[in-house]
Structure 1
Amino acid sequence: MLARFLPRANRSLLYRLLSENLRAQAPWYGIATVAMFIIAGMTSLSAWIMKDIVNETVVSQNLERVLMLAGGVALIFTVKGLATYVQMVILSKAGNSIIATTQNRIFDRILQQDLNFFMKYPSSELVMRLTNNAQAARTVMDLVLTSAIRDLFSLIGLMAVMIIQQPILTLVSFVIGPAAFIGVRYLTLKVREIMQQELASLGMIIQNVQEMTTGVRIIKAFGLENYMRARMEKYVGQVEQRANSIARLSAASSPIMETLSGLAIAGVIALSGFWVVDGGKTPGELMSFITALLLAYEPAKRLARMRINLEAGMVGVKMMYEIKDHPIRLEESDNPKDVPPGRGEIVFDNVGFSYDASNRLFENLNLSFPAGKTTALVGASGGGKSTIINLVMRLFDPDEGVITVNGMDLREISFASLRSHMSYVGQDTFLFNGTVRENLMVGRENSTEEEMIEAAKSAHAHDFIMNMPNGYDSAVGENGGSLSGGQKQRLAIARAMLRNADILILDEATSALDSHAEAQVQDALKRLTKDRTTIVIAHRLATIASADNIVVLDSGRILEQGPQKELLSHNGPYRRLYELQILPQLEEA
């Protein structure tokens, strides 16, 4: 019934929210419902008993009867208090479960998305949707249940008392209802609009904080403190302004209800006075009616404001479902298979790919990465090197054509099996906020202590690890903030070595190393790449001189490929790159 007051789109979202959560939380909501029925019943009974209290006290003056009624009042409010406690505790338990379940489901949905999803939704917005929107789902559930059961049935019960005691006066008091809801309807539309703007500003606050923490060196180096401070003040000010607007609009329903209710109650009391004096009505009937009328005011006011609060909550629910309903473009086949036996040969067969309709990158791309060999990808930025790696790791799917590993289409292979056969070291090294040990062991969770240490030694990371306060149990900080760029990259290489996968992907894996460290790690990489299918992206041509095959890319096209000696034997694009980069270094030496 409450959903009828919502727009059609929000109505369907509300039904969906209820259907997804009511069944899962049915035992708890069942207990809370019983408690709310008791609250509604006790509220109505407290108004009804006023008739006997006044009549026995003022008219009959029966002390024994009055004492019995006093005990009844004490019992009514004790039962109501206990039921209120049960309702609050149980609704909190169910609500917290809804938040936890919703956050897990949203996070799981996000994990299944491809890279295009993360290009569309910045991390700050995802954080907001994972936190605020899950809370909004719980708020809406609590609001619907308390309004639909406790407030609605309390109001119905109190109205029944009013009708039984004074039916004509009850009709007079009903004039406040239509007028109040007309005023509240306008406020609801304004709240929905402002709430959407407030959530957008909250996302900007989170983004600003994230940029401050990740870009602190740039901020300090360029003296951007005032710039960052001004941005934060702007976003915080917007949230404050809109929160105040919502508070004003929500509060505006109170004076509407207060004024109309006051006028109605005053008129009813005046009329009832005449009825008691001249109409032969008992004081108890009047007091019971007035008590019910006054008690009905609070649930009626909450019901009048319910739509405003519901609209505000539904904005967050709508944003939550945008994430939950976002299509998953990378899906496993119905019967995913393991990577077939082999040494990791990868083949692109007439592959076409585009990020969007106006940005066609690959057209009939044919490229092989021979098993056990090292293939290097070089070329200008935007040529498609990183996209090839993303396609190999199946972070995207091709629009046309087939990519195979050991002869099997990637789309037929399970994600777990495919990724277990691959190891990756990127240019932008990522480390989890934990210890050195934890960051290495994610490479292969079942590896032994000896294997982990051996991988660290091979990556020339063991010495600096042992110089840290707690060795392998030392914290690295958020994204390795306590380490240098070279140290982070050597940990990433050690992690890849520990994984011991058939296919190795290196994306500028030595870019953060100095000359001495790079020489050491290149020696380790030679051992690591031996007899493995290795794909290397490198801008420094000196690091790929020994590659079995070098592929020169430009705007998604292969300009030439072959070993370095062959490419240098004719005047092609690779030789020109070599002359621009390597020859000046040789002349300086």
Structure 2
Amino acid sequence: MNAKAAQRHGPPPTSDETNAVLRRLLLSDGRKHWKGYVLAFVFMGTMAACTAGLAYLMNDAVNAIFVHPTPAAVWAVSGIVMVLSIIKGASAYGQSITMARIGNRVVADNQKRAFDRLMLQDAAYFGHRHTAEITTRFTAGAAGARGALDLIVTSIGRDALSLVMLAGVAFVQDPFLAVIALVVMPAAVLGTRKLIKKAKTIFTTGFTSGVKLSSIVMEVFQGIRTVKAYTLEPVMRERTHKFIDDVEINANRLVRTQAKSSPLMETLGGLAIGGVILYAGYNVIELGRSPGQFFSVLTALLLAYEPAKRLSRLHVELVSHVMGARMLFDLLDAPAPDADSPGVRALPRPRGRVEFKDVVFAYRPGENVLRSLDLVAEPGRTTALVGQSGGGKTTIINLIERFYDPQSGAVLIDDVDTRTVSRTSVRASVALVSQDVYLFSGTIRENIGFGRPGASEEEIVAAAKAAHAHPFIMGFETGYDTFVGEHGAQLSGGQRQRIAIARAFLKNAPILLLDEATAALDSESEAEVQKALAELAHERTTIVIAHRLQTVVRADRICVIEGGRVVESGTHDELIARRGRYYGFYFAQFAHESGNADSSVGSAVESGPDGDLLRA
């Protein structure tokens, strides 16, 4: 991940930002689940009361056993201690289950919200960010929201209540001893303030390193064939180990920072307990007071030690959760450029006339890809886009799909500016088959069915047959229930293409976009795919991108795209006769078949190569 990507994580939050994040969490998820949190508070309050009760009973227990031995009192105190312990255990179970269910719901709700927001981002959003960064925000953000709420609720409901009740026991038994105990908590909190800022900085650095590690590991696994083909294992091993070491170093720094609060509490707690023992011993030995009070206060102090230590670390441990929640809110608050405006109308099912009118478009400011482009694709006919790479052909496809909108000019479907209708309705009218087929993890049936969710089994099979995919599908042991693997890795290139074509058949859109759909196939697979594409293009407005010109010689219209403009257009015969740019491309591709360019061209025009992509 580059420096700009790292900057997107932002600096560590200030105290005001931390408070704002916590306030938002409490007003959103906290308020939504307030009934569950109230129940958890009841359980935690019961636990705190039982803990305080056990400390209070130490006075009676010690006196009943050692000062005024009374069997009946011993039995009574023992019974009460057992009952309180059972109630405390049951309350602990109830609190744990309640908090876990609420936490799981908080994670699920926020992941749904984050995913829905991501679905409203445009192609540029995903192009500027690594997949690892997006998935980390998606998972760590929801977990951070849960962790922050859990920490706040348990700190108040369990630790703070326990501390207050145990302090109350100490006050009842001996106010002076209680004052000694109460000195510990404020001093511990003040002592951890300097650790908070350091923990925030370390967590930010650690998150960046973690995203870098996830990015490189994901890329290595996805490109494993390239890694092995170029024997890059040592290089990738060295790079990955470096990032792993960075993550480990930052994790150790964060642990050291968090752990520094423990020695502070250990020291202050030991001083407080030592002072209590000295004072109590003097009272018992010199003044003859009951030892029960001493043991009761000492028990309260010892039981209060862990809650006080957790509270002293609260701000330090809250840092990572707050920053995770902030990542979630950054995602939820991001603009949604792919969302349609309220009330926007839908595009009626079009005849399929596509027109680019004086379109200017740039992915980056000042670097225009399309320059005042004018282009028309007539309904029911095939328009081929040819030209050198970088001329803007794929960008034309992207604008038709409304993955992007032009900076000026208009893209029209049936004379309707696509920016004035919903994106969903535009994309519902368009089917795309590209060279880079994307199949989702799942079965062949599921991947074809994505063309039209809810389609019947008969419709899926019919689409597969139309795409010439049914025979090879039935050749698998499990047929349509065959799992395709990650990105369709269990299928060949030709099989993946025919699954994609079946998906397009099932969608049955009036406009068909073909982006180098056969470029990466062998001749046998290409012949099968060509047949399927020819059937799919029948009576549809088809716009096809091809570098291999023999696949488009029979298109109704061929447009040569250069420098973001249409520099030449016409039928194959017309363009050959002009001996312009198209003629030059065609001659360059087929000159090796004949010493005479005209004879090779004439042969191709008369017979056409076997399996031409689109037959008029």
Does the alignment reach a TM-score above 0.5?
yes
SS for the counterpart of 1:356 is coil
Match of 1:345 among 340, 346, 353: 353
Q: Is the 8 A contact 1:333 1:412 kept in 2?
A: no
Change (3 A) 1:415 1:270: same
Q: Matches of 1:26 and 1:587 in 2, distance apart?
A: 83
Deviations 1:4-51 (A, max 9, x none): x97111211111122221233223222111101111222222222222
Aligned-residue offset at 1:498:
2.6
Coordinate RMSD, CA, aligned: 2.3
Match of 2:450 among 435, 442, 453: 442
Matching residue of 1:235: 243
Q: Is the 8 A contact 2:442 2:483 kept in 1?
A: yes
Matching residue of 1:295: 303
Q: Matches of 2:527 and 2:293 in 1, distance apart?
A: 97
SS for the counterpart of 2:452 is coil
Change (3 A) 1:178 1:34: closer
SS for the counterpart of 1:504 is strand
Matching residue of 2:4: none
Task: State whether structure 2 residue 542 is matched by structure 1 residue 534.
Answer: yes
Gaps of 5+ in 2: 1-12, 601-616
Q: How many residues align?
A: 585
Task: State whether structure 2 residue 93 is matched by structure 1 residue 51.
Answer: no
Q: Matches of 1:556 and 1:388 in 2, distance apart?
A: 9
Match of 1:163 among 164, 171, 194: 171
Matching residue of 2:489: 481
SS for the counterpart of 2:389 is coil
Q: Matches of 1:45 and 1:146 in 2, distance apart?
A: 20
Matching residue of 1:100: 108
Aligned-residue offset at 1:254:
1.1
Q: Matches of 1:492 and 1:585 in 2, distance apart?
A: 33
Q: Matches of 2:320 and 2:110 in 1, distance apart?
A: 18
Deviations 1:38-83 (A, max 9, x none): 1122222222222222333333333323322221111211111111
Q: Is the 8 A contact 1:392 1:403 kept in 2?
A: yes
Deviations 1:259-299 (A, max 9, x none): 12102210221022223334454322222222212211111
Task: State whether structure 2 residue 525 is matched by structure 1 residue 492.
Answer: no
Change (3 A) 1:353 1:67: same
Match of 1:377 among 385, 394, 401: 385
Aligned-residue offset at 1:571:
4.3
Specify the code of the residue in structure 2 equivalent to 1:570. Answer: R
Match of 2:438 among 413, 418, 430: 430
Change (3 A) 1:540 1:288: same
Matching residue of 1:524: 532
Q: Matches of 1:174 and 1:483 in 2, distance apart?
A: 69
Deviations 1:157-212 (A, max 9, x none): 11222223222233333333344223322222222222222222322333233223
Match of 1:308 among 301, 313, 316: 316
Deviates more, 1:239-248 or 1:96-105: 239-248
Aligned-residue offset at 1:117:
0.8
Aligned-residue offset at 1:92:
0.6
Aligned-residue offset at 1:575:
2.5
SS for the counterpart of 1:37 is helix
Specify the code of the residue in structure 2 equivalent to 1:155. Answer: L
Aligned-residue offset at 1:91:
0.5
SS for the counterpart of 1:380 is coil
**% same residue:** 42
Match of 1:354 among 341, 355, 362: 362
SS for the counterpart of 2:336 is coil
Matching residue of 1:123: 131
Deviates more, 1:139-148 or 1:458-467: 458-467
Matching residue of 1:110: 118
Change (3 A) 1:447 1:300: closer
SS for the counterpart of 1:386 is helix
Structure 1 segment 328-339 matched on structure 2, within 5 A: 328-339=336-347
Deviations 1:518-537 (A, max 9, x none): 23432332332222111111
Matching residue of 2:472: 464
Q: Is the 8 A contact 1:561 1:567 kept in 2?
A: yes
Aligned-residue offset at 1:468:
2.2
Gaps of 5+ in 1: none
Specify the code of the residue in structure 1 equivalent to 2:303. Answer: L
Specify the code of the residue in structure 2 equivalent to 1:529. Answer: A
Matching residue of 1:544: 552
Task: State whether structure 2 residue 292 is matched by structure 1 residue 284.
Answer: yes
Q: Is the 8 A contact 2:501 2:532 kept in 1?
A: no
Match of 2:159 among 131, 151, 166: 151
Matching residue of 1:559: 567
Q: Matches of 1:162 and 1:447 in 2, distance apart?
A: 71
Task: State whether structure 2 residue 80 is matched by structure 1 residue 61.
Answer: no
Deviations 1:489-522 (A, max 9, x none): 1221222223221010100011122223323432
